[in-house]
Structure 1
């Protein structure tokens, strides 16, 4: 078995090397060659026991040999620098934390009690049992355990050999330190400290440098360094932090940093892996100045972090991998770097603050009305520090820190979070909470560089996120096949959602389901979407979406985008999304495909109840407090079906956190129609007692949608010349929209005539017609309720001609 897996690993490496040679990527080959030589040397040292801890070996790593005589622990307690978050005024504000955060303190204490019973927080709400003492090489979710051999011999991506390495690594991020340290600070009870030190000493003993799966990832070494810093700061004054323990910490931090420095991810996953590793080098250099090469570690770490600000982030602050989880990692890496540098008077180039603030702005723009974030791309369920046990889909703690760091109340309009209290202190949190400044409301926005559009209702309760851009970074390892997919929140309640990630290596079938088109709100043609997955992090094929037109206004939003799939089955998909005031959304699809190809539209919903109405050609969704109508505005026939918790092939699954798996409903709408398609879906929220609006087909792609408050008219055509007109209860025009053509005609009556080139939107308010889009020349509108026109900051006079109001731009 061992020889087989080594053969597989070596064959894979040879194939990759051959590919690099053919592509002329010689700098990478040189780097990897040097790294291979380094691993040969490491293997020899590991085999000889050269990495095993001893005071003599530590002495070789310390600048001032006298420190080992006077005591590392005493030196640590007495030194004035470097400073951590709570070096000063520690007792004063830590004693007040329970007063401000009683529920969060209880949750941390509960987690600490679980750890005392050898149940460790890993993902979600349910802790895992790794044994007592923990088996540091075990994945409890599969029962697989790797051997403590030389790290480069371990096939950590092979489930049959190690289980899911992510689960193993999560324990060895030493995240148990955070609740145990909090519990000790909050109660003063020694048993939390005894448990923390006992577990850490066991980790040191069973994970010597370069041995075992926990040395396979340089990024994991960086997380470990930070956890050890929090350990010595949270337990700074306890007797357990004696010279013997301090020597172990300093020794392992050196080897963790040295390992990172020798195996930086410049070419393998050169994104959050690289910035996280650079952050680890910065930490090791800053907080362990007694070690040899500490200045080199810190300098190199900051140099890489600065360089990657230009390499990994768009002009709008989005992380290149287009994953919310990995964007949050990046934001936290940089915020903690800035905070610790400023606390210790280390000057940083201005780009650190400028770009990091943009990262926070980007995350802020994607916040859903329910206070969570969309599960864009992969999510591994992790975060930088575990000071707060929040939902994996909730990034508020990071934005709470950003609000305090950048003095931007709008990043977190609510109260400062528990995590912020441990980093900034109670006084800063209290000041934030007492700010009375009015925060600007989030509005609809097209985030061009990232390829997302967010459509928000004016009441802030509904939200549609539209994926309308590039697939992801060059390797796209953490991308999903979600081009033209969308998430929809109505009245603060999720209606159509992205099902998430679930796992990486535990279950290849489920891994590839969750990142495939089948797990997104898209159109599949012959079972295919915009991308085809391969293995667990690679792609055989993917297509980028491209935006064509955008209008984002106060009462109406419109954006359309499309992609062309060149690989079989070749097809083109164009999707336009519309927001109409606070009333409803429309998702318009145009699919150009082979005449015999089968199309299916997927809608993934957490709603507990659904019913099909074949006579009305619609689906009614119901939750405990809401009803939603999903209505195709097309007269062709459909097959409606629903799937939940299907195993083979997978369908109807949802994962709110890594390894968390729940059933949801996947609605499948299959048009009974050959050839090309044009299908608008109208999605209308209504209360439980309402039957919803009245839909009427007016012929030739025209529809009316009526309620007591408005009458809307839509015209959809195969050339993309959609048009919209709204009348109020008095039959006066209040809104209009045209995608291309210059005429809106209803029942043979022309309501609007003009010359436009790239979309037009208008609304009437206070006797003024406000226009947006591209328009010129003479225009006229069949109504009498406006006296002026405002367009691009200019006002235009109008004249009345019969039943029309006319003007010229």
Structure 2
């Protein structure tokens, strides 16, 4: 029944055109099952495979990314990066791999590329279209990660850095075995054009790095060329469209472009490249919004999309070919947005989904790094903000080539913050290295909003590089469905939950149906004020509108958050709670006015609660039964973390205030009936919130 319900909801998110397209996909899949793969002679010009192989070995007529001469320069410039790549390559020679938060695994010879040794699951080698990865016993993400073969460029680099044939032989040993076990269209590795596209990038780049190895024979080259050609065909014919045209489409188009650029000997490379670049420029405009935010409302997917565009741009630049303006402009505005979020040394945002996806692995980082990305953008496009905020290393050195771009102009200053009105994120910066973000944007992208979370009006707060209020992360995709449900929920984010419900209605692990719509009432970055509301709870039997005002003046160390919950009528019942998920390094104890937040035994923040009705303080840490009180350090891994807040009940309208203040600044007045440091009073047309905190005191009036 649950499966039928999911299909019903998924169909409801589709247009008539999409339904017809998906139906035609069944026909295409059946046709592909019977399709004979062409030989290498049938896909290169004039069938001249010997000429094609010689041109490949000489890198004629194509851009060069991995090159022995460049490797020598990079080894001298980045000795620490060199050592890290070589250590990673040695682990691969030894058969050791690790993905996500799962434990490390050893690939036992002979390697079975359909076996997940962590879960001890063997994925069936049947037609890919007949596999249901959503209901399988194993985690599809783990086996996909293995079959993306993104370790091959690391082995190719190690070969170029050292000349040690062990690395080339290991790469070819893995590739030979994979090719033998994974014919196109069969097995989990070919479940979707996206997997084919991302894998094709790594194979094509690694193959170029191995081109002068004795292990790279003509027979091996031809076998790989056939698979790359088939991957490119599938990237276009089976590309993601309609409600699925998110980062997956960019991955497919990038795979198509990379194969076409690195293998011009393929007869279809010319027209394929033209199509890929035209559509990549379009997707850069669509998926990177005018203010630079990612349309998917997920920081990690914006980074992934940017990395995919960047690989193609780097190859075009290396080929001395023009990069479509839409791609360059998209990369630059995305980089400037990302730089505004991470500053010089601020914590990396964690909003939305994150599957730790790489476009191309050129260093040993376990997860993609935003500052590595920024440095690479600066090296390829010359954007001065990206170059200034980035961290150069092996990846930026490879992508920037022997003559990296020179920054054109001055970097954008961080200033008091930023309001990304299209993406719906506000960044407020203050004294003492305080950085606050508030989500005032849409839930996600396209009709399913697959990678968004129910986090409207959610906050994050960091001070001097230390995360205080943090997004708990994605948690899980397939490995732990209960964790995924919790980590996408409103309860898991620093916002307000009403009646135990999410702001938006989930229709499945990657599907939202009813969505909260945010209305921005006021944003004053210079003054440190944000005021917005959403209608997500108006669908409830007791409809409620949630409004939040944040006051975080740049010169004040205090932050005041006022949540106003207004029912549809004077007798509307309101049950709500605030949640403030803290970083796992922090502990809390209950104080006289709220919660005292400690780090390694040192008090770092007072969190004070108040309301115009009685309230109950709440705290939870690492609760297995409910799944509350956790922080995902990696996908499929988690650490216990304190979630604190206040629960209230009332009718008609309820006001809850929360203040974050440095230690030692709160005031109380013994003998005064209103002796708390945070006071909320409400009359017919005004809410008055007073924070008594010495020089950090705030008096805020909100008109009703």
TM-score (norm 1): 0.79
The residue number in structure 2 matching 1:303 is: 278
Mapped contact 1:373–1:393 kept (Cα < 8 A): no
- Distance (whole Å) between structure 2 residues aligned to residue 445 and residue 113 of structure 1: 44
Does 1:557 pair with 2:528?
A: yes
- 2:291 corresponds, among 313, 316, 320, to 316
- Distance (whole Å) between structure 1 residues aligned to residue 239 and residue 670 of structure 2: 61
Alignment partner of 1:381: what SS? coil
The range that moved more, 135-144 or 314-323, is 135-144
- Give the direction of change, closer, same or farther, for the CA distance of 1:697–1:165 in structure 2 (3 Å limit): farther
The range that moved more, 691-700 or 78-87, is 691-700
The residue number in structure 1 matching 2:517 is: 544
Deviation of 1:603 after TM superposition, in Å, equals 1.2
- Distance (whole Å) between structure 1 residues aligned to residue 16 and residue 665 of structure 2: 64
The residue number in structure 2 matching 1:465 is: 437
The range that moved more, 112-121 or 714-723, is 714-723
- 2:310 corresponds, among 313, 324, 335, to 335
The residue number in structure 2 matching 1:579 is: 552
The residue number in structure 1 matching 2:587 is: 609
Does 1:590 pair with 2:553?
A: no
- Give the direction of change, closer, same or farther, for the CA distance of 1:683–1:539 in structure 2 (3 Å limit): same
The residue number in structure 2 matching 1:116 is: 93
Query: Can you give the 5+ residue segments of structure 2 that lack an aligned partner in the other structure?
Result: none
For the pair shown, the structure with the greater C-alpha radius of gyration is 1
Deviation of 1:348 after TM superposition, in Å, equals 4.1
Deviation of 1:207 after TM superposition, in Å, equals 0.2
Mapped contact 1:174–1:224 kept (Cα < 8 A): yes
The residue number in structure 2 matching 1:522 is: 495
- Give the direction of change, closer, same or farther, for the CA distance of 1:663–1:153 in structure 2 (3 Å limit): same
The residue number in structure 1 matching 2:470 is: 497
The residue number in structure 1 matching 2:666 is: 693
Deviation of 1:391 after TM superposition, in Å, equals 5.8
- 1:173 corresponds, among 148, 154, 177, to 148
- 1:419 corresponds, among 358, 379, 395, to 395
Does 1:666 pair with 2:643?
A: yes
- Give the direction of change, closer, same or farther, for the CA distance of 1:542–1:289 in structure 2 (3 Å limit): same
- Give the direction of change, closer, same or farther, for the CA distance of 1:739–1:642 in structure 2 (3 Å limit): closer
The residue number in structure 2 matching 1:758 is: none
Alignment partner of 2:460: what SS? strand
The residue number in structure 2 matching 1:773 is: none
- 1:443 corresponds, among 401, 416, 428, to 416
- Give the direction of change, closer, same or farther, for the CA distance of 1:18–1:105 in structure 2 (3 Å limit): closer
Deviation of 1:697 after TM superposition, in Å, equals 9.9
Mapped contact 2:314–2:400 kept (Cα < 8 A): no
- Distance (whole Å) between structure 2 residues aligned to residue 159 and residue 506 of structure 1: 10
- Distance (whole Å) between structure 2 residues aligned to residue 85 and residue 668 of structure 1: 51
- 2:26 corresponds, among 32, 36, 49, to 36
Deviation of 1:668 after TM superposition, in Å, equals 3.7
Q: Deviations over 1:516-546 (max 9, x none)?
A: 1121112212211312323211224321221
Does 1:58 pair with 2:34?
A: no
Mapped contact 1:714–1:725 kept (Cα < 8 A): no
Deviation of 1:190 after TM superposition, in Å, equals 1.8
- Give the direction of change, closer, same or farther, for the CA distance of 1:653–1:217 in structure 2 (3 Å limit): same
- Give the direction of change, closer, same or farther, for the CA distance of 1:547–1:130 in structure 2 (3 Å limit): farther
- Give the direction of change, closer, same or farther, for the CA distance of 1:659–1:728 in structure 2 (3 Å limit): closer
Q: Deviations over 1:389-442 (max 9, x none)?
A: 33637311111112223323432336523311222247649x88xx99776234
- 1:129 corresponds, among 106, 117, 120, to 106
Alignment partner of 1:588: what SS? strand
- Distance (whole Å) between structure 1 residues aligned to residue 5 and residue 699 of structure 2: 58
- 1:263 corresponds, among 238, 255, 261, to 238
Does 1:622 pair with 2:612?
A: no
- Distance (whole Å) between structure 2 residues aligned to residue 144 and residue 339 of structure 1: 38
Alignment partner of 2:634: what SS? coil
- Distance (whole Å) between structure 2 residues aligned to residue 598 and residue 8 of structure 1: 29
- Distance (whole Å) between structure 1 residues aligned to residue 625 and residue 556 of structure 2: 40
- Distance (whole Å) between structure 2 residues aligned to residue 14 and residue 649 of structure 1: 27
The residue number in structure 2 matching 1:158 is: 135
Mapped contact 1:368–1:463 kept (Cα < 8 A): no
Mapped contact 1:523–1:529 kept (Cα < 8 A): no
- Residue correspondence of structure 1 range 381-400 to structure 2 within 5 A: 381-390=356-365, 392=367, 394-400=369-375
Aligned residues: 694
TM-score (norm 2): 0.90
- Distance (whole Å) between structure 2 residues aligned to residue 635 and residue 223 of structure 1: 54
Does 1:222 pair with 2:217?
A: no
Deviation of 1:86 after TM superposition, in Å, equals 4.8
Q: Deviations over 1:334-374 (max 9, x none)?
A: 22222222322333442322232111112222216644421
The residue number in structure 2 matching 1:73 is: 53
Deviation of 1:673 after TM superposition, in Å, equals 5.3
- Give the direction of change, closer, same or farther, for the CA distance of 1:352–1:369 in structure 2 (3 Å limit): closer
Mapped contact 2:353–2:452 kept (Cα < 8 A): yes
- Give the direction of change, closer, same or farther, for the CA distance of 1:544–1:130 in structure 2 (3 Å limit): farther
Mapped contact 1:142–1:506 kept (Cα < 8 A): no
Q: Deviations over 1:589-648 (max 9, x none)?
A: 1112476543221111124321102xx221101002552100124475432232222122
Mapped contact 2:416–2:429 kept (Cα < 8 A): yes
The residue number in structure 2 matching 1:678 is: 655
Q: Deviations over 1:720-776 (max 9, x none)?
A: 5558899998xxx999976559xxxxxxxxxxxxxxxxxxxxxxxxxxxxxxxxxxx
Bigger strand share: 1
Q: Deviations over 1:137-178 (max 9, x none)?
A: 233443332200011100122233xx2212111111111113
Which structure is richer in relative contact order (CA contacts within 8 A, separation 6 or more)? 2
Alignment partner of 1:159: what SS? coil
- Give the direction of change, closer, same or farther, for the CA distance of 1:685–1:152 in structure 2 (3 Å limit): same
Does 1:246 pair with 2:227?
A: no
- Distance (whole Å) between structure 1 residues aligned to residue 516 and residue 457 of structure 2: 11
- Distance (whole Å) between structure 2 residues aligned to residue 229 and residue 301 of structure 1: 16
- Give the direction of change, closer, same or farther, for the CA distance of 1:453–1:438 in structure 2 (3 Å limit): closer
Mapped contact 1:97–1:421 kept (Cα < 8 A): yes
- 1:279 corresponds, among 232, 236, 254, to 254
Query: Can you give the 5+ residue segments of structure 1 that lack an aligned partner in the other structure?
Result: 1-6, 706-712, 742-809
The range that moved more, 124-133 or 111-120, is 124-133
- Distance (whole Å) between structure 2 residues aligned to residue 668 and residue 103 of structure 1: 44
- Distance (whole Å) between structure 2 residues aligned to residue 440 and residue 66 of structure 1: 55
- Distance (whole Å) between structure 1 residues aligned to residue 142 and residue 611 of structure 2: 48
Alignment partner of 1:655: what SS? strand
Mapped contact 2:339–2:389 kept (Cα < 8 A): no
- Residue correspondence of structure 1 range 79-98 to structure 2 within 5 A: 79-87=59-67, 90-91=68-69, 93-98=70-75
Mapped contact 2:347–2:466 kept (Cα < 8 A): no
The range that moved more, 178-187 or 366-375, is 366-375
